[in-house]
Structure 1
């Protein structure tokens, strides 16, 4: 029988030398293997473990509840957030009310890139929105995540290098394995009907689409925020407010300044 992976997280209530050794010994006695271990929050440790059957996990849970040095937080099949928490030593911040919204700050770009890369690896339709002020690293993070996920990225609209507003794709670009990047402000303020027709075609593809400034995008299309599978917010610091009137003005570059072009 193949072994099954589980996520174990506990809080240390009485820190003493040898505590981690006690946990490791307990897992060893139950024939449960440790895959990865790391601190995930202040006073908490997370482990990815391997067990050959669910009975081992039931016994482990029962014993952990009797220990007065720790408090069991989670023992479940690992979610993406669990795997990344163990890998990076911190949890992704998830909105308490809107579970599809995840928050990052600029010094967490490595975690953000890893998170998006895992989303990009998943097959089928996926619509991801990313909010943030100018020059916070939105587009660069999307491109880096595409590289990590071994995906080809295509700018449908963007201002990364030059102002890009595409109105058609060549045949091999209509590929479900490609990643399509749309800048909601550029598309809303500078595009024509041919561009919007292309956007509608892309939105119907069973592929991953990433929309920068999704709130502006939905104001000018038939789509709504509810259509997005994930919303990512990226800030310079946790207190920064994402203000769209400032973003809007900063993105209204003239073609003479940035050499805008249309495909």
Structure 2
């Protein structure tokens, strides 16, 4: 039987020397391998495990429940957030009401890039929206994540490097191995019907697409926020308000800001 990954997280109740060694020895006796381990929150530790059968996990859970020094908080097949928590030592902040919304601040760009790269590596259609004020690092993070995921990125509309709005792709750009980047404000303010027809074609490609300013995008299209698989919010600091009035007044999005780069 192929081995499967499992995620174990426990909260330390009595912190004493040798606790981790006891748990490691227990895993060894059950023939469960540790892939990685890290502290994930205050007094919590996460372990990514490799197991042969669910029977091993059942036996492990049964034994751990008898230990007074720890309290098991999670034992499950790992989610993306679990893997990143072990990798980076903390959980990505997630909206409690909208489970597909994840929040980052500027000093967490490394985690954000890693998070998006893992999404980009997944096969099939993935629609990701990213909210944030101008020049907070949205586009740069998307590009960096595409490099980590070994994906070629294509700007369908953008203000990075040059002001871009495209009405067509060439044949090899329709590949599902590409990452398509769309700026919702640029497309909404400058788009013609050919551009929107291109967006509809891209939406049908089983590939990853990232929409910057998704709220503006859905206000001016037939798409809705329900169509998005992930919504990412990026701020300079946790208290920063994302204000679309300010974004729409930004000179980068003005009519004069576009220098005839449509193609």
Alignment TM-score, normalising by the size of structure 2: 0.96
Poorly superposed stretches of 4+, deviation over 3 Å: 251-260
Match of 2:97 in 1: 97
* Unaligned ranges ≥5, structure 2: none
In structure 2, relative to structure 1, the CA distance for the partners of 1:54 and 1:257 (3 Å cut) is closer
Distance 2:21 2:33 in 1: 14
Distance 1:251 1:105 in 2: 24
- Deviation larger for 150-159 or 23-32: 23-32
Distance 1:35 1:24 in 2: 12
C-alpha distance after superposition, 1:12-45 (max 9, x if no partner): 1111111111111111122211110001111110
C-alpha distance after superposition, 1:170-228 (max 9, x if no partner): 11111111111000000001122221121111112222111000000000000000011
In the TM superposition, residue 48 of structure 1 has moved relative to its aligned partner by 0.8
Are the equivalent residues in 2 in contact too, given 1:151–1:178 (CA < 8 A)?
Answer: yes
Distance 2:42 2:133 in 1: 29
Match of 1:17 in 2: 17
Alignment TM-score, normalising by the size of structure 1: 0.96
Match of 2:108 in 1: 108
In the TM superposition, residue 75 of structure 1 has moved relative to its aligned partner by 0.8
C-alpha distance after superposition, 1:35-91 (max 9, x if no partner): 100011111100011222222211111111111111100111111111111111111
In the TM superposition, residue 259 of structure 1 has moved relative to its aligned partner by 3.3
- Deviation larger for 129-138 or 167-176: 167-176
SS of equivalent to 1:6 = strand
- Deviation larger for 196-205 or 134-143: 196-205
Match of 2:171 in 1: 171
Answering whether residue 203 of structure 2 is matched by residue 203 of structure 1, we say yes
Match of 1:6 in 2: 6
- Deviation larger for 182-191 or 242-251: 242-251
In the TM superposition, residue 257 of structure 1 has moved relative to its aligned partner by 5.3
RMSD over equivalenced CA pairs, Å? 1.4
Match of 2:238 in 1: 238
Answering whether residue 231 of structure 2 is matched by residue 261 of structure 1, we say no
In structure 2, relative to structure 1, the CA distance for the partners of 1:164 and 1:31 (3 Å cut) is same
Distance 1:31 1:227 in 2: 43
In the TM superposition, residue 94 of structure 1 has moved relative to its aligned partner by 1.2
SS of equivalent to 2:168 = coil
Answering whether residue 58 of structure 2 is matched by residue 61 of structure 1, we say no
Match of 1:37 in 2: 37
Distance 2:3 2:206 in 1: 33
In structure 2, relative to structure 1, the CA distance for the partners of 1:253 and 1:126 (3 Å cut) is closer
Match of 1:74 in 2: 74
* Unaligned ranges ≥5, structure 1: none
Are the equivalent residues in 1 in contact too, given 2:185–2:253 (CA < 8 A)?
Answer: no
Distance 2:199 2:257 in 1: 26
Distance 1:64 1:123 in 2: 36
